[in-house]
């Protein structure tokens, strides 16, 4: 018979406390209405007992109040590496928690920021994805073994092999959020899903191909003679496969920086007969407030769905056409499936 354990302790970086509260509330709802297996988890309790101070020289001055609460408990930390300025202080906490005899430790890092720098194409380049994976791999073991590091829609699946055996990377996806959203739209029968490049198609097409028609965009050289193209720098965006005619086309990708490729892809889709265009990305990075280019754009997006894997997503979602799909739904479902309870 299963033995009910204590509450799961959920710590969070200050930038992610709103998401942590939403996760705890969603877990409470799921436990109340869930299956017998889910109700074996008593609750997820948000702890705001980490003091995130700084010394006069700017280096972290950290302290965990009531740290003995971690002893023989299942501990979760909701992290955000959205800026180099906050990575060192969080790593310091991640290295400390297992040493206080936590029974198990799970780090939720929704956005892996160096995921696009995962390989070396030219001598001299540095694969910083490997660097960050090495830093996370230094988290000490817990009583139950390796720490789990949960990442959503990582840019390249082979990145899992950059981590050492000292931790267990769990590569999850937020795509179920947009799947549910699209199936609830009034015009769901006219929706097609587009991918801005072959990379996005490889990562996500299996999640959509039995539900919606697919369109694949690609970039070709300027001297390529393919039709229906829109110039983007020295390359052109073109439709490689699929027909957007008369469809509400939703462009799906893992992340967006400036959004230039998404806009050019939208132009091609509209030129080829799409009735309207929307977009979804899991990680709305948008450095230097580049999201503002979509609020008054020459290319009209019906919707631009994002999740809150980065702290500034909630601010972005206050401005049309952006709409927030809260990550709390998939995080909470994942937490209740981590088998905190021993049998």
What is the percentage of the chain residues whose pLDDT exceeds 70? 89
What is the model's pLDDT at position 231? Answer: 54
Cβ atoms < 10 Å from Cβ of 255 = 22
Average pLDDT over every residue of 105-125: 90
Write the Ramachandran bin of 79: left for phi over 0, alpha for psi from -120 to 50, otherwise beta.
Answer: beta
10 Å Cβ neighbour count for 189?
Answer: 8
- Residues 159-179: what's their mean pLDDT? 93
Q: What is the pLDDT of residue 295?
A: 92
Q: CA–CA separation, 170 vs 52, rounded Å?
A: 27
Looking at domain 175-326, its CATH class is alpha beta
For residue 306 the two structure tokens come to 């994002």
Q: What is the CATH number of domain 8-174+329-335?
A: 3.40.50.2020
Token readout for 133 is 């994976």
Token pair, residue 96, equals 């400390």
Measured between alpha carbons, how far is 291 from 258 in angstroms, rounded to an integer?
Answer: 7
Spacing of C-alpha 283 from chain mean position: 5
The two structure tokens encoding residue 122: 């030219």
Position 246 pLDDT exceeds 90 = yes
- Per-residue pLDDT band for 36 (boundaries 50, 70, 90) equals very low
In degrees and rounded to multiples of 5, residue 198 shows phi and psi of -65, -30
- Residue 325 CA, chain-centre distance (Å), reads 11
Tell me how far apart the alpha carbons of residues 331 and 234 are, in angstroms, rounded to a whole number: 40
Same fold, 8-174+329-335 and 175-326: yes
Residue in 29, 76, 83 with CA at minimum distance from that of residue 326: 29
Q: Give φ, ψ of 78 to 5 degrees.
A: -95, 110
Q: Are 182 and 250 in contact (CB under 8 A)?
A: yes
| Alpha carbon distance, N-terminus to C-terminus of the chain | 6
Report whether pLDDT(279) > 80: yes
For the entire predicted model, the pTM comes to 0.89
* pLDDT at residue 39 in the model: 47
- Rounded CA-CA distance 297/304 in Å is 12
Locate 28 and state its tokens: 């409470």
H or E element, residue 193: strand 191-195
Give every strand in the sheet of 214-221, ordered side by side. 229-232, 235-241, 214-221, 191-195, 248-256, 276-284, 304-306, 322-324
pLDDT at residue 292, as a whole number: 94
For residue 118, name the pLDDT band (cuts at 50, 70, 90).
Answer: confident
**In the beta sheet, which residues pair with residue 74?**
104
Residue range 70-99: average pLDDT? 96
Using a 10 angstrom Cβ sphere, with 0-12 exposed, 13-18 middle and 19 or more buried, the burial of residue 63 is: exposed
The residue ranges of every structural domain in the chain are: 8-174+329-335, 175-326
Rounded CA separation 342/127 (Å): 39
Residue 101's contacts (CB-CB under 8 Å, 6 or more residues apart) are 70, 71, 72, 143
> β-strand 74-78 against 60-64: which pairing, if any?
unpaired
- CA 15, CA 309: separation in Å to the nearest integer? 11
Q: Are 256 and 268 in contact (CB under 8 A)?
A: no
Rg, Å, the chain Cα set: 22
What per-residue confidence (pLDDT) applies to 146? 95
């Amino acid at each position: 018979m299963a033995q009910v354990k204590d509450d799961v302790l959920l710590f969070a970086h200050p930038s992610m406390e709103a998401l942590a509260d939403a996760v705890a509330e969603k877990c409470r709802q799921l436990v109340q209405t869930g299956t017998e297996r889910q109700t074996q988890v008593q609750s997820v309790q948000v702890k705001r007992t980490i003091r995130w101070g700084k010394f006069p020289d700017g280096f972290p001055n950290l302290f965990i109040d009531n740290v003995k609460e971690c002893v023989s408990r299942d501990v979760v930390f909701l992290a955000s590496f959205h800026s180099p300025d906050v990575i060192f202080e969080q790593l310091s906490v991640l290295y400390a928690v297992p040493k206080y005899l936590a029974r198990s430790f799970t780090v939720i890092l929704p956005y892996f920021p160096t995921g696009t720098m995962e390989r070396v194409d030219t001598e001299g380049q540095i694969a910083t994805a490997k660097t960050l994976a090495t830093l996370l791999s230094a988290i000490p073991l817990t009583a139950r073994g390796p720490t789990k590091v949960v990442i959503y829609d990582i840019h390249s699946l082979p990145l899992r092999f950059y981590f050492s055996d000292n931790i267990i990377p769990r590569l999850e996806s937020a795509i179920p959020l947009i799947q549910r959203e699209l199936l609830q739209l009034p015009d769901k029968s006219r929706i097609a899903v587009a991918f801005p490049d072959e990379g996005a198609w490889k990562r996500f097409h299996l999640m959509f191909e039995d539900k919606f028609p697919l369109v694949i965009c690609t970039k070709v050289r300027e001297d390529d003679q393919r039709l229906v193209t829109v110039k983007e720098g020295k390359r052109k965006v073109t439709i490689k496969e699929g027909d957007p005619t008369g469809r509400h086309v939703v462009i799906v990708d893992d992340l967006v920086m400036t959004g230039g490729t998404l806009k050019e892809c939208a132009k091609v889709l509209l030129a080829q007969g799409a009735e309207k265009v929307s977009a979804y990305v899991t990680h709305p990075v948008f450095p230097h407030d580049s999201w503002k280019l979509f609020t008054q754009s020459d290319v009209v997006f019906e919707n631009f769905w994002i999740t809150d894997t980065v702290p500034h997503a909630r601010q972005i979602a206050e401005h049309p056409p952006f709409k927030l799909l809260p990550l709390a739904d998939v995080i909470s479902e994942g937490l209740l499936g981590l088998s905190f309870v021993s049998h």
